[in-house]
Amino acid sequence: MIESFDVVVIGAGAAGLFCAGVAARRGLRVLVLDHGPEPGRKILISGGGRCNFTNMKVGAENFLSANPHFSKSALAGFTPKDFIALVERYGIAYHEKTLGQLFCDGSARQILDMLLDLCAGAELRLGVGVREMSHDGGFVLETTRGVVKAGNLVVATGGLSIPKLGATGFAYEAAKRFGHGVVPPRPALVPLTFGAQDVAWMQELAGVSAPVRISVGKIRFEENLLFTHRGLSGPAVLQISSYLAPGAAFEVDFCPGLRAEEMLLEAKTRRAKAGLKAVLGEHLPARLAAHFAGAETRNMADLPDKTLRALGQKLNRFSFAPTGSEGFAKAEVTAGGVDTTELVSKSCESRKLPGLFFIGEAVDVTGWLGGYNFQWAWASGHAAGQAIQAR
């Protein structure tokens, strides 16, 4: 027996659940399938378990894509204010942490429970794999629990990041199955790794966090950097990782807003008897100050201007050349994905095959750290959910 629905949504994550909820509340017969044992697993671990569910300020400039304009329509159609209003309607308490990032006061489970309530009119089947897909007057899916048919198909299975939570390349396989291109996926918002020589001194600083300005080309972020046993992490590094081409270097300003060269030369006069480590310690974490001071024991008055100028320039423009990253296992999101040139920006519907939609992380739209990727999930899910028609 073949079961029929208006739409089948594959993927019970943020985008898939929200899309299903929007479609179900429009009176459509909706089936949500997921191969995992429970829905929203990535939601539950996000934001340290408190879910950074959106950001107060969201625009297309906060996203990476081969088509930087693609996200505009969906983002305008469902804004952070719209999602905040929904959160407030469900009585979920939240707070702004930094840089417009909104978190639940309680648990990420509250967001997931809200999404499941919105999906009350849809049927959710977990632990179900999709073996085959075809289109013949409608979409036919052979699953591990029988065959289903629908006039519409929404692919919301995300990218390759965090495979331990069940991430796979299903969305890309589906795209190719129906004649769509895929921008090669790569890890984004991911810690960076370095060669043995660099890692040796970074390991000595493991656990040290410092506010920095980090940049590559014209891209710049001001957040914290964290030294690890494998290299560098922290919000600043995760942000810049999304923009790094293989083999590219980036710069770190350890004294943002301060001309370190002038500061050191002034300290030579102002604090003539102080040691370099003490002077640096006024602007850097103690262990980082000790690293840059090295074995230098002379007072500031005895240090050559040339030495201080060179150190100042290094502090403001320290170049890092990573050898790689910690990969999809530690990447918060996947950059690349289904080619947006073959999707309608207002609805995320295929230009090639009406009724086929790709949403969320599956698409070549990747947000910054700080709630942007969740907002893309809500916006793209809403766009598709509103556009789906009974066929």
Contact 185, 163 (CB under 8 A): no
37 and 168 in a common domain? yes
DSSP-assigned states of every residue in 166-185: T--SHHHHHHHHTT--EEEE
pLDDT digits (tens, 9 = 90+) for 34-57: 999 999 999 999 999 999 999 999
**Final residue of a structural domain among 276, 296, 326:** 326
Distance from C-alpha of 287 to C-alpha of 108, rounded to nearest angstrom: 35
Which of 195-199, 288-292, 366-370 has the lowest average pLDDT?
A: 195-199
198's tokens = 């660099």
| Residue 206 Cα distances to 190, 200, 233, angstroms | 17, 10, 10
Measured distance CA(11)–CA(154) in Å, rounded: 9
Residue 391 clears pLDDT 80, i.e. is over it: no
Whether residues 322 and 227 share a domain: the answer is yes
For every residue of 301-332, DSSP letters joined together read GGS-HHHHHHHHHHHHSEEE---EE--TTT-S
Strand arrangement of the beta sheet that strand 101-104 belongs to: 52-55, 101-104, 94-96
The pLDDT assigned to 44 comes to: 97
Rounded distance, CA 111 to CA 90, Å? 9
When pLDDT is averaged across residues 4-10 and rounded to a whole number, the result is 98
Q: Are residues 16 and 156 in the same domain?
A: yes
* 263 and 382 within one domain: no
Q: Examine the pLDDT at 115 and tell me if it is beyond 90.
A: yes
Tally of structural domains, the chain: 2
Residue 128 has pLDDT above 80, yes or no: yes
Q: What is the pLDDT of residue 6?
A: 98
> How is residue 286 written in tokens?
């103690």
Half-sphere exposure of 70 (CA within 13 A, CB side): 26
The token pair that represents 23 in the structure block: 């479609």
Please report, for residues 66, 171, 356, the alpha-carbon distance to residue 347 in angstroms, rounded to integers and kept in the order given. 18, 17, 10
In tens, the pLDDT along 50-80 reads: 999 999 999 999 999 999 999 999 999 999 9
Q: Is pLDDT of 269 > 90?
A: yes
Q: How confident is the model at residue 306 (pLDDT cuts 50, 70, 90)?
A: very high
Residues 58 and 34 occupy one common structural domain: yes
pLDDT grade for 137, boundaries at 50, 70 and 90: confident
Tokens 């991430």 found at: 167
**Do 321 and 349 fall into the same domain?**
no
Count of beta carbons in the 10 Å neighbourhood of residue 353 = 15
Q: Quote the mean pLDDT of the chain.
A: 97
DSSP state of 259: -
Q: Are residues 219 and 199 in the same domain?
A: yes
Q: 83 and 171: one domain? A: yes
Domain end: 308, 326, 344, which one? 326
DSSP code of residue 275: B
33 and 177 share one domain: yes
Task: Quote the longest CA-to-CA distance of the chain.
Answer: 88
Rounded CA separation 199/65 (Å): 32
Q: What pLDDT is attached to residue 142?
A: 97
Domain that holds residue 274: 191-326
Q: What is the CATH number for 373? A: 3.50.50.60
Distance from C-alpha of 343 to C-alpha of 349, rounded to nearest angstrom: 5
Cα 285–chain centre separation: 28
Residues 108, 254, single domain; the answer is no
Q: What is the pLDDT of residues 155-210, one digit of tens each?
A: 999 999 999 999 999 999 999 999 999 999 999 999 999 999 999 999 999 999 99
Summarised one tens digit per residue, pLDDT across range 307-356 is 999 999 999 999 999 999 999 999 999 999 999 999 999 999 999 999 99
What are the distances in angstroms from CA 1 to CA 41, 150, 237, 390?
31, 14, 52, 21
Is residue 39 located within the same domain as residue 108?
Answer: yes
Domain boundary among 275, 302, 326: 326
4: Cβ–Cβ under 8 A, 6 or more apart, which residues? Answer: 29, 148, 149, 150
Q: Residues 50, 32: one domain?
A: yes
CATH code of residue 227: 2.40.30.10
**pLDDT value of residue 390:** 81
Query: Is residue 14 within 8 Å of residue 115, measured between CB atoms?
Result: yes
